[in-house]
């Protein structure tokens, strides 16, 4: 893999691809146990110690919910005026 990356002038390491995979799983809403199994960690604490910062906080979820609510309200308001 490293030889192919060098040939392609890409500086990614296999571990970077693993981190990218974890980011995708967490962004898709996977829980700790699911990510733990995907990574082959024997303990959930290993997963959390390494990747805790990637899970959304309550603030993140609140902001996302508010943005969705606002977007849905705007779509409804625009749709009502288009008729």
Record the tokens describing residue 1, joined without a space: 């893999």
Rounded Cα gap, residues 45 and 43, in angstroms: 5
pLDDT, tens digit (0-9, with 9 covering 90-100), for 28-80 = 999 999 999 999 999 999 999 999 999 989 998 899 999 999 999 988 888 77
Asked whether 27 and 55 are in contact (CB, 8 A), the reply is no
The predicted pLDDT at position 71 comes to 93
DSSP secondary structure code for residue 53 in this structure: G
Task: Please compute the mean of the pLDDT values over residues 17-29 and round it to a whole number.
Answer: 93
């Amino acid at each position: 893999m490293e030889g192919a990356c060098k040939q392609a002038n890409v500086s990614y390491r296999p571990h970077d691809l693993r981190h990218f995979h974890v980011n995708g799983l967490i962004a898709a809403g996977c829980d700790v146990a699911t990510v733990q199994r995907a990574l082959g960690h024997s303990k959930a604490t290993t997963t959390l110690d390494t990747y805790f910062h990637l899970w959304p906080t309550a603030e993140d979820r609140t902001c996302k919910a508010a943005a969705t609510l606002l977007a849905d309200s705007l779509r409804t308001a625009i749709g009502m005026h288009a008729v």
